């Protein structure tokens, strides 16, 4: 997760060529918002693996059902064929949470997704994600994706 409490990683301008932070009202747009905050940039594991949300098995669903996978790296993180394939698989995360927990808020979703980050970072992450989605941290995830 992000180590900065100041907001999205803007250090790498190359990111803009790979990830578009425009909100289109769907789960893939949410993943774009998360990737920008997380710091998907040249040299990062996420960038090398074309894995914008740093997915690592196990899952309760088959990632191969949604995207083309090349394999895993030495630490078990998935390597996707393309960034677009990664987005398709990563988008299943908020979709599945919204389906299973229709009352879940954006803040609650980020809290689960970023559960290893300190609380203040999770709050900033949720605020960034909500702003990127033109929503609030209290918006229901199921209503904004």
Q: Tell me: the pLDDT tens digits for 72-122? A: 999 999 999 999 999 999 888 899 899 999 999 999 999 987 877 888 888
| Partners of 93 in the β-ladder | none
| Residue 6 falls inside a structural domain | no
Q: Tell me: the pLDDT tens digits for 14-33? A: 443 444 455 566 888 888 88
| Residue 2 falls inside a structural domain | no
Structure tokens at 59: 């899952």
Residue 57's pLDDT is: 80
pLDDT greater than 50 at residue 7: no
Total structural domains within the chain: 1
| Residue 7 falls inside a structural domain | no
Between CA 77 and CA 95 the distance in angstroms is 21
pLDDT band with cut points at 50, 70 and 90 for residue 60: low
| Residue 10 falls inside a structural domain | no
Residue 44 structural domain: 15-144
């Amino acid at each position: 997760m992000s180590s900065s409490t100041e907001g999205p990683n803007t250090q790498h301008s190359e990111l803009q060529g790979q990830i578009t932070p425009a909100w289109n009202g769907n789960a893939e747009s949410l993943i774009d918002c998360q990737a920008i905050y997380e710091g998907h940039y040249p040299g990062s594991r996420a960038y090398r693996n074309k894995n914008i949300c740093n997915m690592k098995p196990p899952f309760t669903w088959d990632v191969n059902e949604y995207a083309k996978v090349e394999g895993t790296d030495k630490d078990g993180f998935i390597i996707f064929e393309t960034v677009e394939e990664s987005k398709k698989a990563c988008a299943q995360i908020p979709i599945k949470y919204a389906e299973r927990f229709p009352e879940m808020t954006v803040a609650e979703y980020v809290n689960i997704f970023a559960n290893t980050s300190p609380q203040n970072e999770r709050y900033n992450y949720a605020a960034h994600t909500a702003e990127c989605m033109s929503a609030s941290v209290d918006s229901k995830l199921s209503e904004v994706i």
